[in-house]
Structure formats: C-alpha cells, structure tokens
Amino acid sequence: MPDDAAEHGVRVTAVDQGLPAKAGLAGAAEAGRTWRATAAGYLALTKPRIIELLLVTTVPTMVLAAGGLPPLGLVLATLGGGTLAAGGANALNSYVDRDIDAVMHRTANRPLATGALAPRSAMIFGLALSVASVVWLASLVNLLSAALAAVAIGFYVGVYTLGLKRRTAQNIVWGGAAGCMPVLIGWAAVRDGLGWPPVVLFLVIFFWTPPHYWPLSMRFREDYAAAGVPMLPVQTDPVTVAGWVLAYSWVMVATSLLLWPVAATTWFYPVVAGVIGVVFLSEAHRLRRRARAGLTGAALGTMRLFHWSITYLSLLFVAVAVDSLLPR
C-alpha cells in the first residue's frame, strides 16, 4: 500500500501505482495528436496546393521584370507576402463556404466541414494572415505590391466568394481574376510599377482559369448541384461546357503568344508556348469530341485536361523565366 511504503521510507513512483502513469502518458500523447491535428487544420485552411501554383507564376514574372535574377531577399520577401495573402484569402473562403464544403464529397474532409476547427477561429486566422500580408509587403517590398495584394484578397473574398460563386454560372470566369494578381504583384515588387508584359500574363491566367476549372467541376457536377452552386456544368450540358472550354483555350494560347512581341523575348519562349499550347488545344478538342460522343463519368476524361492545365501553366512560366536568362 502506498501509505505504508512511504512510512517505511520506500520511494513510490507512478509506475508502481500502475494506471495513473499510463493515463498520464496517454493524455500527453493525445495532447500531442490534438496539437498536430489543429496545426494541420489551420494549414489546410490556407489550401497549400493552390498557393504553390500561385507562387509558380510569381517568381518567373519577377525574373522577367528584372531581366535576369532579382535579388534573393526581394524574391523571398515577395513570396512570403504572397503566401500570407493567398493563405488568408483561402482561409476566409473556407470560412464563408463551410456549409458548401460539408455537403460536397470532394470537400467534406476540410477542417471546418469536419468540425476540427471552430468557424470563428478560422475567420480570425484568415483575417490575421490577410492583414499580415499587406503589412509585410508594405514594409519589406513596396506599397504598390501591398495594395495589389489587398485588392486580390478583397476581390477573392468579397466579389467571388460572397458575390459571384452562388449567383452565376460565370462565377469562376470573373472570380478567377484574383488568381491572376500574383503576376502583377511580382512585377510591381521589382519595378515598383506596372507595364504591358504583366498585363499579358494576367490575361493568360484569366483565360486559363475556365478551361482549368470547368473540367474539374464537370467531374464533380453532382457535388456542386447538391450544394446549390451554379457552376456552368450544373447549368448546361457537357457538350456546351466543352465548347466553352475549347473557346477559352484558343484565346488563352493566342494571348500567351502576345508576350513574344510585348516583352521582346527570344525565340525560346514562343517555341515552348506554341508547343505546349498545341498540346493543350489537342486535349480540349478531345474533351469536346468525347462529350459529343455522349461519354460520361470517367470515360469523359475531364481530369486529363484538368491535370494537364496545371502542367501547362507551370511549363509556360518556366519558359518565361528561362527566356529572361538567355542572352539577347
């Protein structure tokens, strides 16, 4: 007995008493798991995979603006501010759309949909990141980049998430403008001004967004319909959607080639842009042919174009950066 042992000068440990030690270890392990789960939840709110794609467009634009490699410190400062801005906007988007996410199978595991995080905590987190991004860019980069980041956050949350997403089938067309802002921010970080090259790149991403996102929403049409989100594939038939995907793809490829004369690139950029543009158009034409043939579900192959669109944008901006480093 513990009291008798103490009276006889015998040291009694938690191990000797059995269950309390096990309970203590279990509690510590559970606390560790809870902390990690909470941290993972906040990270998921920022949608890191979307941020990665945004940053892929920022650095090459900075290289183009500098006509070579910009200072590393400036690149890191711009990427840091851009990450905070995108993370904050995505977290606020998750806060507003938590009801939709809970209904859709594709998003049912997001932290607000599962209850892993409280909505109020997510809202505060998103606001904190958003404010921090503007202060960061204003302090470490310049005021123009900070103002553009503020516009991007406000547009994505206020115009797209709160305004367009649940009201029009053209939601992703105009809402996608927020995803174009990193090229303007990257250029402004280097030049402290804007010009026609970043405008062309802005338009490339703007016209890229529908043929990137509509194939995904075709794949998850039932999810969007159940959530009451009027995505174009919910509002019309696959053949019509595929036709719009193809139309935007043609405009996107044509716009990408405008950078050649506008930015006075070497031969490298237009060759790469042309080749990957042909592949993109080929995939878009194939999607329309499959839709016209009446194929549905996995046989329609919408995810082929979705995944290729990500590869296309990455390769295009790599070509922008590489071309800027080539001798003139």
* 3-state SS track over 124-137: HHHHHHHHHHHHHH
Measured CA to CA, the distance from residue 40 to residue 77 in angstroms comes to 24
Q: What is the C-alpha separation between 155 and 158, in angstroms, rounded?
A: 5
Neighbours of 170 (CB within 10 A): 14
pLDDT by position in tens, the chain (length 328): 444 444 444 444 444 444 455 555 545 444 555 888 899 999 999 999 888 888 889 999 999 999 999 999 999 999 999 999 999 999 999 999 999 999 998 898 999 999 999 999 999 999 999 999 999 999 999 999 999 999 999 999 999 999 999 999 999 998 889 999 999 999 999 999 999 999 999 999 999 999 999 999 999 999 999 999 999 999 999 999 999 999 999 999 999 999 999 999 999 999 999 999 999 999 999 999 999 999 988 899 999 999 999 999 999 999 999 999 999 8
Q: Are 178 and 142 in contact (CB under 8 A)?
A: no
Under 8 Å between Cβ of 232 and 241: yes
Eight-state DSSP code of residue 168: -
Q: Which two tokens stand for residue 28?
A: 């510590």
Buried-state track 3-42, b at ≥16 Cβ within 10 A, e below 16: eeeeeeeeeeeeeeeeeeeeeeeeeeeeeeeeeeeeeebb
CB-based contact 217:231 (threshold 8 Å): yes
Dist. CA 205–CA 158, nearest whole Å: 20
Inter-axis angle of helices 119-140 and 19-45, nearest 10? 60
Q: Give the model's pLDDT for residue 55.
A: 82
Closest of 256, 134, 271 to residue 202, by C-alpha: 256
Q: How far apart are CA 317 and CA 261, in angstroms?
A: 16
Sign of CA dihedral 136, 141, 146, 148: negative
Give the pLDDT confidence score for residue 281 in this predicted structure: 98
Q: So what's the pLDDT on residue 266? A: 97
Ramachandran category for residue 171: left, alpha or beta (phi over 0 → left; psi -120 to 50 → alpha):
alpha
pLDDT of residue 7: 41
